[in-house]
Amino acid sequence: MIRKLVILALLSAACFISGGMLLSQHQDETLYPTPSLTKRMMLSDYFSVLRGGDGDTEVFEYCGDEGGGTVLILGGTHCDEPASYLAAYLLIETLDVQRGRVLIVPRANRSALTHNLQGEGHPQTFEVETLHGKRSFRMGSRYTNPLNQWPDPEVYLHSPSKQELSGSDSRNLNRCYPGRADGTYTERVAHALAELIKQEKVDLVIDLHEASPEYPVINAIVAHERAMDCAAFAVMELQGQGLEYSLEPSPQNYHGLSHRELGDHTNALATLMESANASQGRLRGRTDAQLVVTGRDKMYTRAAEIEMTRVPFGLEGIPLDIRVARHIEGTRQLVLAFNGLNAGKEVEFGGAPTYAEIVERGFGKFMHEEN
């Protein structure tokens, strides 16, 4: 009898602890926007069906004193690509907009931050050094949480193109654009983001991503055909700073991606950026919070030696600091290129640290907890 009670108590404790861990994954990290923030909105303000659900997510607006264009920055489309949402968090906590408007959705697929990808062994959280000590961030998944959308179809039929994709891509936000008002959970999030772009008359969309070091489109800006001139100027400038970037056109026949559908279905110039994330790659070795932050991996260094990666990968790895720095600098150069091509619609901002500053001190040192 006593033995049974002890077992029951231990089991209850295990359930309680793991339940707590699971619930903690649903807790959004607190962000500390700069005083330059003009409005804090929710995505459901643009599509009320999302209100109160896991898909509803924050929209931060920074409006300059002078009128100009509107830039939308999307982080956290894929939540196992931490540089994408951390770059957005960093902008939220450093931005000072003088002209035009910057909108930031740091957790574009908020549901994807509430779980890990099965079988990847990813950590639930990782820590970053800031001026106020260590700050913890969640590592999420590429896909919407099955709790929000289940089960996957055998074949996912993209709307409206009718292109066939693998079933799990029905929960991949970047295969669900332009979205559907009466579609799946993920399609509704995509629809809401497209609505935001239309209602706010967004001129330039920058969708932040990461990819495996062996993925062919990496250290790249991908652009819709209407955004190619803007992206070309930005890439030339980035290359001029000694940063490896390539410019890739959005394929016309590959549907569901932001750079294709947002460019086709809204007036915005649609762009997407990729940095190299070892913790996402297939060739990686030991997977833990260290790997996410340091981006160091012996297996990848070896893979690079035998030319199996698309980016150089030395023993020093590709740390989160460099990946965040690339996204910040890439964003800056895209906006500057946009300004050069769109007189009267300029967006001017300061506050965000430079590439060199982030690489030297670490992005965490620029994050604020007392704005």
Partner 1 sequence: MRRLFVLAIFISAVLANGQTPYQTPVLLTTGGQSADGLFMKNVLTKEGIEFQYKPLATVADLDSAKTLIMVIGGSSKGLGAARISAEDEIARMTALLDSAAAKRIPVIAAHLGGKNRRGSLSDPFNDLGVQKSNHFFVVKGGDDDGYFKKRTNVRKIPYLMVDKTADLGAPLKQLFTKPAGE
Instruction: List residues near Zn ion by CB under 5 A.
Output: 78, 81, 209
Q: Does 310 bind partner 1 (CB under 8 A)?
A: yes
CB of 46 to partner 1, least distance (A): 31
Q: Taking CA 330 as the corner, what is the angle to CA 324 and CA 335, rounded to the nearest 5 degrees?
A: 130
- Selected binder of partner 1 within 24, 252, 267, 354 (CB under 8 A): 252
Query: CA–CA separation, 193 vs 46, rounded Å?
Result: 8
Task: Name which of 196 and 235 has its Cβ closer to partner 1.
Answer: 235
- Selected binder of partner 1 within 28, 66, 164, 244 (CB under 8 A): 244
Tokens of 272: 């997407």
The structure tokens 């799990």 sit at: 168
104 binds, among partner 1, Zn ion, none (CB under 5 to 8 A by kind): none
236 binds, among Zn ion, partner 1, none (CB under 5 to 8 A by kind): partner 1
Of 112-120, 152-160, 237-245, 328-336, the segment contacting partner 1 by CB under 8 A is 237-245
The structure tokens 């009670």 sit at: 5
Q: Does 133 bind partner 1 (CB under 8 A)?
A: no
Number of neighbours of residue 240 by Cβ within 10 angstroms? 9
Q: Does 153 bind partner 1 (CB under 8 A)?
A: no
Torsion of CA 335, 336, 337, 341, to 10 degrees: 100
Task: Name which of 70 and 219 has its Cβ closer to Zn ion.
Answer: 219
CB of 248 to partner 1, least distance (A): 4
Q: Are 138 and 125 in contact (CB under 8 A)?
A: yes
> What are the distances in angstroms from CA 193 to CA 7, 18, 58, 94?
49, 33, 11, 24
Tokens of 242: 């000694």
CB of 231 to partner 1, least distance (A): 8
Query: CA–CA separation, 305 vs 310, rounded Å?
Result: 11
C-alpha 193 chain-centroid distance: 14
Amino acid at residue number 71 = V
Query: CA–CA separation, 156 vs 114, rounded Å?
Result: 23
DSSP string across 261-286: HHHHHSSSEEEEEEEE-GGG-SS--S
Q: Does 341 bind partner 1 (CB under 8 A)?
A: no
CB of 236 to partner 1, least distance (A): 5
- Selected binder of partner 1 within 251, 285, 314, 350 (CB under 8 A): 251
CB of 189 to partner 1, least distance (A): 26
- Selected binder of partner 1 within 312, 314, 315, 350 (CB under 8 A): 312
With CA atoms as reference, report the closest residue to 348 among 175, 141, 95. Answer: 95
Which parts of 268-307 interact with partner 1 (CB under 8 A)? 307
CB of 323 to partner 1, least distance (A): 17
Query: CA–CA separation, 81 vs 89, rounded Å?
Result: 13
89 binds, among partner 1, Zn ion, none (CB under 5 to 8 A by kind): none
Q: Which residues contact 40 (CB under 8 A, 6 or more apart)?
A: 33, 58, 59, 60, 61
CB of 245 to partner 1, least distance (A): 8
Q: Which residues contact 293 (CB under 8 A, 6 or more apart)?
A: 126, 127, 128, 319, 320
246 binds, among Zn ion, partner 1, none (CB under 5 to 8 A by kind): partner 1
Task: Name which of 330 and 362 has its Cβ closer to partner 1.
Answer: 330
- Selected binder of partner 1 within 42, 45, 125, 228 (CB under 8 A): 228
Q: Does 249 bind partner 1 (CB under 8 A)?
A: yes
Task: Name which of 97 and 176 has its Cβ closer to Zn ion.
Answer: 176
Q: Are 76 and 108 in contact (CB under 8 A)?
A: yes
209 binds, among partner 1, Zn ion, none (CB under 5 to 8 A by kind): Zn ion
Binding site for partner 1 (CB under 8 A): 216-217, 219-220, 222-223, 228-229, 231-233, 235-236, 239-240, 244, 246-254, 307, 310, 312
